[in-house]
Amino acid sequence: MTSAQKFIAIDGPAGSGKSSVSKEIARRHGYGYLDTGAAYRALAWHVLDRGADTSDADAVRAAASDFPFAQALDPDDRRVRVGGADVTDAIREPRVSAAVSGVARVPEVRVQVNEMFRRIVADSEYPAVVVEGRDITTVVAPDAPVRILLTAAPEVRAARRAGELAGENAAAVAEALHKRDASDSSVVDFLNAAPGVDVVDSTELDFAQTVAAVLTVIDQRRDADTGA
């Protein structure tokens, strides 16, 4: 098996459900789970921890050149470390969230981080790894046997994200989500499926139905890849 064949590639915008669905898929199949967004968040934290600003591309490159990132692949163990620091909770802080786009916009850094993802999957002991992000189906693993774009209508995604963030103003959450979509989509297109990528639209589906729809695609694609 090649390293590309170990990828279950799932892309999608914020609020599409890709994280929760990907983790559930990994649990059911005994696969690993890699949240690529956590790596970019961890790098943003790393830049800030060095006293720099992610709007400074040179500072981002410097931090990326010394980025001791580690992430557990167990879907029920989401610890993220940078060197000796456990940053699992810190990378979800608002200051980090606001800084992530600056990291993701540096092309050389994206190349470096994407190569890191490939190494993590190739070196894992899991038979496959569910890797979710923004450009997994198109850039990181375009030869993966399973490539899925998980999406939903913008208003549905906003409502879901507001539900996850208890106490947050729904309108503010929706505005932040739309701004993030607009900003991130200028770097990589995660709103439209590339050729050969299966689309699962969860607008009218609940969580269990979405998981079932994704599992169906995975089973069909992996069967086709093995000639079953």
CATH code (residue 104):
3.40.50.300
Q: What is the mean pLDDT of residues 125-154?
A: 93
Query: Within this chain, do residues 141 and 202 fall inside the same structural domain, yes or no?
Result: yes
Query: Within this chain, do residues 195 and 211 fall inside the same structural domain, yes or no?
Result: yes
Question: Looking at the predicted structure, is the pLDDT value of residue 38 above 90?
Answer: yes
Domain count, the chain: 2
Say if CB 113 and CB 164 are below 8 A apart. no
**Binding-site sequence positions for ATP:** 12-20
Give per-residue burial for 184-211: e unless 16+ CB within 10 Å, then b.
beeeeebbebeeebbebebeebeeeebb
User: Can you give the pLDDT at residue 192?
Assistant: 72
Q: What is the mean pLDDT of residues 109-128?
A: 94
For residue 221, name the pLDDT band (cuts at 50, 70, 90): confident
Instruction: Return the ∠ at Cα 41 (arms to 116 and 82), rounded to 5°.
Output: 65
The token duo for 116 is 């890191």
Query: Within this chain, do residues 83 and 147 fall inside the same structural domain, yes or no?
Result: no
Question: Looking at the predicted structure, is the pLDDT value of residue 228 above 60?
Answer: no
User: Can you give the pLDDT at residue 156?
Assistant: 83
User: Can you give the pLDDT at residue 33?
Assistant: 97
| Maximum distance among all Cα pairs of the chain, rounded to whole angstroms | 54
Question: Looking at the predicted structure, is the pLDDT value of residue 12 above 70?
Answer: yes
Domain endpoint, select from 101, 125, 149 = 125
By percentage, how much of the chain surpasses pLDDT 90? 63
For residue 14, name the pLDDT band (cuts at 50, 70, 90): confident
Domain that holds residue 3: 1-31+127-228
Sign of CA dihedral 181, 129, 114, 146: negative
SS3 content of the chain, % helix, strand, coil (to 5): 50, 15, 35
Question: Looking at the predicted structure, is the pLDDT value of residue 117 above 80?
Answer: yes
Among 147, 201, 211, CA closest to 13: 201
User: Can you give the pLDDT at residue 187?
Assistant: 59
Distance in angstroms (rounded) separating the CA atoms of residues 22 and 128: 12
Residues 147-206: tens digit of each pLDDT: 999 998 888 887 777 666 555 566 666 666 666 666 665 556 666 777 889 999 999 999
Query: Within this chain, do residues 54 and 106 fall inside the same structural domain, yes or no?
Result: yes
Lowest-confidence pick of 41-45, 132-136, 159-163: 159-163
Distance in angstroms (rounded) separating the CA atoms of residues 21 and 5: 20
- Residue position matching structure tokens 């189906």: 137
Domain endpoint, select from 125, 141, 171 = 125
In terms of Cβ atoms closer than 10 Å to its own Cβ (0-12, 13-18, 19+), residue 150 is buried
- According to DSSP, the residues that pair with 85 across neighbouring strands are 82
Instruction: Return the ∠ at Cα 141 (arms to 207 and 78), rounded to 5°.
Output: 50
Which SS3 state, helix, strand or coil, does residue 206 take? coil
Q: Tell me the average pLDDT of the chain.
A: 87
Query: Within this chain, do residues 98 and 109 fall inside the same structural domain, yes or no?
Result: yes
Distance in angstroms (rounded) separating the CA atoms of residues 165 and 174: 11
Strand order in the sheet with 198-201: 32-35, 129-133, 7-11, 146-151, 198-201
User: Can you give the pLDDT at residue 166?
Assistant: 55
Q: What is the mean pLDDT of residues 92-116?
A: 91
**Binding-site sequence positions:** 12-20
User: Can you give the pLDDT at residue 155?
Assistant: 81
